[in-house]
Amino acid sequence: MHFQTTIEPFRIHSVEAIALPDENQRETALERVHYNLFGLHADEVIIDLLTDSGTGAMSSRQWAGMMLGDESYAGSRSYYRFRDVVHDLTGMPHVIPTHQGRAAERILFTETLTSGDVVPNNTHFDTTRANVEYQGAGALDIVIPEGLEPDSRHPFKGNVDVQQLEKILADDVHRVPLVMVTVTNNSGGGQPVSMANLREVREVCDRYGVPLFLDACRFAENAWFIKTREDGYLDRRPKEIAQEMFALADGCTFPAKKDGLANIGGFLAMRDARLAERCRNLLILTEGFPTYGGLAGYDLEAIAVGLEEVVDEHYLRYRIRSTAYLAEKINAAGVPTVQPPGGHAVYIEVRSLLPHIPQTQYPAQAFVVELYRIGGVRGVEIGSVMFAKPQPDGTETAAPMELVRLAIPRRTYTQSHIDYVAEVVIEAASHTDEIPGYRIVRQPPWLRHFTAEFAPIPR
């Protein structure tokens, strides 16, 4: 089509009212939740860009599929339908359903890691890192240097630094039970990994005899970026590209709440039969029997349909374009974001936006609070609250970047919602000198961003 507008390739079939809390209600809510937006009631939020995880709209085909759910405890028909779709996509013979991605991570790492091991990854997502560290192992982030430069326009900023990987394996391969690659690289800005880079990682892993696992979270978005940015892929279907990505891996963890287009679910898939057996045994202990893994039969149906829909070209074109649309709009008004825009989210680069707030006063958290205060928009901090490490002397290591992520739920908001978000961001960015820094008044020992409590530091 020669028209410029990329339309949503769906029409709305059922609607959900949006709450419209006023300014006073939002200020009261902020005080009640100690400036941690995870504590808000969803009905206190106008546009919820906290996460793209499990928050998307399912299609009428998915809802119809749910009516076919077989709730048999063992051997459910829905499991076999789910397994066949996953197998077709990944080529992996062992498909273990889990209630979400982190359950797959926990099971995989429990069975593969021991204290003192290390896992290299382009960038571990926070649950992945926590699950590695929970086993007493080290989570090493080895994204290419461009991946840490918000302004760099490298087309595949999620790529693994293959030289660093080689060095880690050469130094002590026995401490590395597996290598992971996260597609797309969520914590680094939703940036893709190229097929060429995956091939190089595979080659290094082969040379050292180390298995390669994908955190396949947003595999379809990654496939679209390969199609549109990497030589030789423009004429390939997204599904074929995804199949080629999975063919390079020995296994994967998958949270179906993102590119599974489902509200819950996930899986662990692999080629190694012996490891799969150990994982299934652990699955039974905490998740459930291997043909449901903590999910209802109808969830397995919804994921099976979602995995077919997510590789649709029209969907992916709209998806990636609608994220870029938000980034372009706020960039045009001078708000810096990680470039180029990611697949599932826009990442506002806060260090240059709020230079007066030092990293020790959590500038990205400050901006997250401001977006909610003035416009009821809920984003998430991806900076020192999430990644800085408290040290024994009471100080903290700083995070490499201070970002505010505006994650776009799939097939949920329309262009006018996104126009509103852009307006709110632009207004918040126009009075940054009035925004205070924050201090943490309470925090748990890990994953503190979910529950930490903050207080503003009077200016």
Indicate whether 329 belongs to the interface with ligand F0G (CB under 6 A): no
CA distance 85 to 81: 6
Helix (H, G, I), strand (E, B) or coil at 102: helix
84/325 Cα distance (integer angstroms)? 36
90 scored as a contact of ligand F0G (CB under 6 A): no
Place of tokens 């959900």: 16
Smallest gap from Cβ 39 to ligand F0G, in A, equals 16
Q: Quote the tokens at residue 131.
A: 């699950």
How far apart are the two ends of the chain, measured CA to CA in Å?
53
By CB under 6 A, name the one of 117, 215, 370, 381 that touches ligand F0G: 215
Look at residue 346 and give its three-state secondary structure.
strand
Kindly state whether residue 159 participates in binding ligand F0G, applying the rule CB under 6 A.
Answer: no
Does position 131 bind ligand F0G by CB under 6 A? Answer: no
Region 280-319 residues binding ligand F0G, contact defined as CB under 6 A = none
369 near 34, Cβ under 8 Å?
Answer: no
Using the structure block, give the residue that is written with the tokens 């449901």: 292
Asked whether 43 and 18 are in contact (CB, 8 A), the reply is: no
213, 252 contact by CB (below 8 A): yes
DSSP 397-431: PPPS--EEEEE--TTT--HHHHHHHHHHHHHHHHT
Cα 424 → chain centroid: 24
Identity of the residue, 96 or 357, whose beta carbon is nearer to ligand F0G in the bound complex: 96
The dihedral formed by the CA atoms of 406, 407, 409 and 415, expressed in degrees to the nearest 10: 40
Q: Quick check: 57 and 8 in contact, CB under 8 A?
A: no
Q: Is residue 125 close enough to count as binding ligand F0G by CB under 6 A?
A: yes
Please tell me whether residue 257 binds ligand F0G under the rule CB under 6 A: yes
Whose tokens are 């825009």? That residue is: 341
- Closer CB to ligand F0G, 69 or 255, in the complex: 255
Q: Is 347 in the site for ligand F0G (CB under 6 A)?
A: no
In the complex, least distance from residue 4 CB atom to ligand F0G, rounded to whole angstroms: 31
387 binds ligand F0G per the rule CB under 6 A: no
Site membership for ligand F0G, residue 51 (CB under 6 A): yes
Q: Any contact of residue 127 with ligand F0G (CB under 6 A)?
A: yes
Give the number of other Cβ atoms within 10 Å of residue 346's Cβ: 32
Instruction: Between 177 and 189, name the residue whose CB sits nearer to ligand F0G.
Output: 189
Q: Which of 122, 128, 323, 384 binds ligand F0G (CB under 6 A)?
A: 128
- 122 binding ligand F0G? (CB under 6 A): no
Spatial separation of the C-alpha atoms in residues 159 and 440, rounded to whole Å = 33
Instruction: Decide if residue 197 touches ligand F0G (CB under 6 A).
Output: no
Question: Which range binds ligand F0G by CB under 6 A, 23-31, 123-131, 201-209, 392-400?
Answer: 123-131
Going 83 to 84 to 85 to 88, the CA torsion angle's sign is positive
Asked if residues 193 and 183 have their Cβ atoms less than 8 Å apart, the reply is yes
Is 402 within 8 Å of 359 (Cβ atoms)?
A: yes
Q: Is 359 in the site for ligand F0G (CB under 6 A)?
A: no
Which residue in the set 36, 90, 100, 194 belongs to the binding site for ligand F0G (CB under 6 A)?
100
Choose between 267 and 438: whose C-beta lies nearer to ligand F0G: 267
Query: Does the footprint of ligand F0G cover residue 146 (CB under 6 A)?
Result: no
Contact between 53 and ligand F0G (CB under 6 A)?
yes
C-alpha torsion sign, points 199, 111, 268, 403: negative
Please, which residue, 215 or 381, has the CB nearer to ligand F0G?
215
Among 186, 323, 359, 365, binds ligand F0G (CB under 6 A): 186
State the burial class of residue 261 (Cβ atoms within 10 Å of its Cβ: 0-12, 13-18, 19+).
buried
Q: Which of 255, 294, 363, 376 binds ligand F0G (CB under 6 A)?
A: 255
Check binding of 98 to ligand F0G (CB under 6 A). no
The minimum distance between CB 126 and ligand F0G, in angstroms, equals 8
Residue 277 Cβ, how far from ligand F0G at the closest point, in Å?
23
- Residue numbers at the binding site for ligand F0G (CB under 6 A): 51, 53, 100-102, 125, 127-128, 182, 186, 215, 217, 255, 257, 266, 407
